[in-house]
Amino acid sequence: MNLIDCLKNNAERNPTKIGFIDEERSLTFKEMYEEVQKFSENVSKSVLRSTQVVSLISENSTSFVIAYLGIINSGRVVHLTPTNISLTNLARQTSSTGSGLILCPKVTKKLKEWNSSHYNYSAVPFSELAELTRGEKKDLGKIRRQIVAYLIYTSGTTGEPKGVPVSHDMVEFTTKNIIDVLGYSETDVDVIPLPLYHSFGLGCLHTSIFAGSTVVLLKNADNLENILESVKKYNATSLAAVPATLTKFLKLDRKILDDCLQGLRLIITNSTSIPKNTVKGIKDILKGGNLATYYGLTEASRSTFMIFNEDSNLHESVGKPAPGVNIKIDDEHKGESEFGEILVKGKNVIKQYWNDKKADRSIEDEWLRTGDVGYLDDDGYLFLKGRNDEVINVGGEKIIPHDIEQVVRQIPGVEDSAAFGIPHEVFGQTIKLVVKKAANSDLDKLVILTHCMKNLEKFKIPSKIEFVDSIPKNEYGKVKRSMLK
């Protein structure tokens, strides 16, 4: 069953149930299904039959959902782009996808610039789609549904952007796993403040559609007050948030947190290791509810799941492989270190990248080389240690930045830190550490070095320390080390 079938099913079984809520309106399942049908007809009337990909640039809203499902229902592939994409990157991506149309809620200043430039296809607001006609009329029309549902360009925290085509089969496989493992049902009310143009947020939307639950879409993942108010207002049962958001929650008034979050049965977070105190603090607030995480990439969504138990000492693990998914560590190239590159195989894994033979080399015999490094413990729990290309090699000793950062964050007065390799004539690389001090902290470098000497091997001691105002991170809270170097 694909997304459209699920929506239709929801509309037939629960036509008057509110299925979709954003910050301005709400739609029943029936209303959403009708809007999607209308939108897909307009897409079909507006683009050539040969147009297989339509780009979508939109922040979270019910209109996003209508456009996303409408494009799919017209038989086409949705190319999802971040709202903050640069025009250069947009040009590169649309050229790579062969997209024939860019749809957006409104033409922003940036998109006006796009429309006035030399690019062949314009950004069109949803409201003008119905009036749009182009090409020869005989060539217009709905086409047979593509194998691919959506396309997202990903570069992780480094590297060249790669087009990741995600098929309807992958969506179904992954979403059923999410529902089975995390127990979603149509009685859930799911708050999603994460951008839907990324795999984490989009997977949560798919889950709500497959489960027939109600989804509450928020535009700003950094507006903690709005998230908390929405959870309370809609009697939400699940919330999706990145670990950094959960850590920030714990700095707010405990009474407010209890008041807003206690009714949740689940908080789902993702892919980076979560500070021990955050796990403990959130579990304490949730009482009977669960805190869960997963490991996945756009190329291999939800490859593991982890539900944190209070008694468990596994807070740094991202869990065990999802049903039907296999994970192994590349032992061949790991040398003497305990960790190696993580490989994933399963129906959640892409078969190939979008027109990118070079990137396809990372898929061998259906095993995806993730570029992440980690290890599996004796019980089969996966532990992430960082990115393969983030490993620092100091005189032959391989060091994962996470190991240093974890120790440095224990120092009172450290709010955040990031370690990375810098060139060194003798050692090849040495370690540079950047530290963001907590407000009013008078922390100095010697305190950090002394703490590191006591808690780290000598080859892991940073050779340079710099205090910074902020540490650049991506939407998921992963450090953008390439920007620090």
Tell me the H-state helices in 250-356: 254-261, 276-286
Dihedrals phi, psi of 323, to nearest 5 degrees: -55, 130
Give Cα 296 to chain centroid, integer Å: 8
Largest CA distance in the chain: 75
User: Looking at beta carbons only, is 426 or 439 nearer to another protein?
Assistant: 426
Neighbour tally for 472: CB within 10 Å = 14
Single residue of 121, 234, 375, 459 touching another protein by CB under 8 A: 459
User: Interface with another protein by CB under 8 A: which range of 90-98, 119-127, 444-452, 473-481?
Assistant: 444-452
Residue number with CB closer to another protein (104 or 431): 431
Nearer to another protein, 328 or 451 (CB): 451
Using CA atoms, how far apart are residues 93 and 471, in angstroms rounded to an integer? 27
Task: Rule CB under 8 A: choose which of 367, 375, 427, 467 binds another protein.
Answer: 427
Q: Tokens 């409104």 correspond to what residue?
A: 106
445 binds another protein (CB under 8 A): yes
Provide the minimum distance between the beta carbon of 423 and another protein in the complex, in angstroms, as a whole number: 11
Which tokens belong to 77? 């592939």
Provide, rounded to whole angstroms, the least separation between the CB of residue 333 and another protein: 24
Minimum distance from residue 404 beta carbon to another protein (Å) = 13
Q: How far is the CB of 431 from another protein (least distance, A)?
A: 10
79 φ, ψ (degrees, to nearest 5): -95, 110
- Please give the size of the binding site for another protein, defined by CB under 8 A: 21
Contact assessment for residue 236 and residue 191, using Cβ atoms and an 8 Å cutoff: yes
- Residue identified by tokens 């992963």 is 478
* Alpha-carbon span 178 to 196, nearest angstrom: 17
Considering only 46-54, 183-191, 228-236, 439-447, which stretch makes contact with another protein by CB under 8 A?
A: 439-447
Q: Is 287 a binder of another protein (CB under 8 A)? A: no
Task: Give one DSSP letter per residue of 190-228, joined into a string.
Answer: EEE-S-TTSHHHHHHHHHHHHHT-EEEE-S-TT-HHHHH
233 vs 464, which CB is nearer to another protein?
464
**Burial (CB count <10 Å: 0-12, 13-18, 19+), residue 64:** buried
Pairing outcome for strands 325-329 and 317-321: unpaired
Backbone angles phi, psi at 57, to 5 degrees: -120, 110
| Distance (Å, whole) CA 103 – CA 167 | 21
Residue range at the interface with another protein (CB under 8 A); choices 22-30, 170-178, 434-442, 450-458: 450-458
Question: What is the footprint of another protein within residues 239-268 (CB under 8 A)?
Answer: none
Question: Between residue 357 and residue 416, which ones bind another protein under the rule CB under 8 A?
Answer: 394-395, 397
Question: 448: closest CA among 475, 477, 398, 412?
Answer: 412
What's the CA gap between 58 and 111, in Å, rounded?
Answer: 12
Contact 318, 384 (CB under 8 A): yes
Nearer CB in complex with another protein: 333/458: 458
C-beta of 147 vs 453, nearer to another protein: 453
How near is the Cβ of 460 to another protein at its closest, in Å?
A: 9
Is 242:294 a contact under the CB 8 Å cutoff?
no
Under rule CB under 8 A, residue 468 binds another protein: no
Closer CB to another protein, 250 or 461, in the complex: 461
Candidates 453, 466, 483, 485: give the one binding another protein (CB under 8 A).
453
Instruction: Give residues 309-368 in contact with another protein (rule: CB under 8 A).
Output: none
Q: Which residues contact 29 (CB under 8 A, 6 or more apart)?
A: 7, 10, 11, 14, 15, 17, 19, 212
Nearest-approach distance from CB 391 to another protein, in angstroms = 17
- Residue 449 makes contact with another protein by CB under 8 A: yes
Shortest CB 426 distance to another protein, Å: 7
- Measured from the CB of residue 126, what is the shortest distance to another protein in angstroms? 57
Nearest approach, Cβ of residue 397 and another protein (Å): 8
- Determine if residue 365 is left, alpha or beta; phi over 0 gives left, psi from -120 to 50 gives alpha, anything else beta: left
Site membership for another protein, residue 467 (CB under 8 A): no
Q: Select the residue interacting with another protein from 450, 466, 483, 485 (CB under 8 A).
A: 450
Pick 332 or 425: Cβ nearer another protein: 425
Choice from 108, 158, 463, 474 touching another protein (CB under 8 A): 463
**Closest separation in Å from C-beta 390 to another protein:** 20
Q: What is the nearest approach in angstroms of another protein to the Cβ of residue 461?
A: 5
Judged by DSSP in three states, 332 sits in coil
Q: Determine the Cα–Cα distance for residues 331 and 79; give it in Å rounded to an integer.
A: 36
Q: Which is nearer to another protein, 369 or 424 (CB)?
A: 424
Using rule CB under 8 A, residue 458 touches another protein: yes
Residues of this chain that bind another protein (CB under 8 A): 394-395, 397, 425-427, 430, 444-446, 449-450, 453-454, 458-459, 461-465
